[in-house]
Amino acid sequence: MNNSKRTFMLQIIAAGVSLPLAKIAFAEYVNEKDPTAVSLGYVSDATKATNGKYKAGQHCGACMFFGGKAGDTKGPCPLFAGKEVHSAGWCSAFAAKPA
Ligand code: SF4
């Protein structure tokens, strides 16, 4: 393979790898005004939750549905496909991570 073909192939591979990473890096946060967020009472700051199901100390980072790692400030949640929730957020579907 000559250098121009090799360079072209490397560019194609790099593009294929970087596009999914860019999509992850720039995933939108859930907007509290999205219909699904409203129906679940989602707030980006759990301490501001007004939903009667909220209990002090609950937040997305402690929820079994939170897809981020420990210490992440944001992460995916299957209830909001393609978007991210704040670790400090909360919704009425909160379910504590198993101990
Ligand atoms: S299900 Fe859990 S992680 Fe998802 S928004 Fe509600 S509290 Fe946060």
Contact 87, 76 (CB under 8 A): no
DSSP line for 4-61: HHHHHHHHHHHHHHHHHHHHHHTPPBPPTTSHHHHHHT-BSSGGG---TT--TT--GG
Q: Whose CA is nearest to atom 5 of ligand 1?
A: 91
Tell how far the Cα of 20 is from the centroid of ligand 1, in angstroms: 24
Q: Whose CA is nearest to atom 8 of ligand 1?
A: 60
Tell how far the Cα of 82 is from the centroid of ligand 1, in angstroms: 14
Query: Class of 28-86 per CATH?
Result: few secondary structures
Percentage of the chain beyond pLDDT 70 is 75
What tens-digit pLDDT sequence spans the chain (99 residues)? 566 665 544 454 444 444 454 445 678 999 999 999 999 999 999 999 999 999 999 999 999 999 999 999 999 999 999 999 999 999 999 999 998
The Cα 67–Cα 62 span in angstroms is 10
Ligand 1 nearest atom to the CA of residue 61, by list position: 3
Identify the burial level of 4 via C-beta atoms within 10 angstroms of its C-beta, where 0-12 means exposed, 13-18 middle and 19 or more buried: exposed
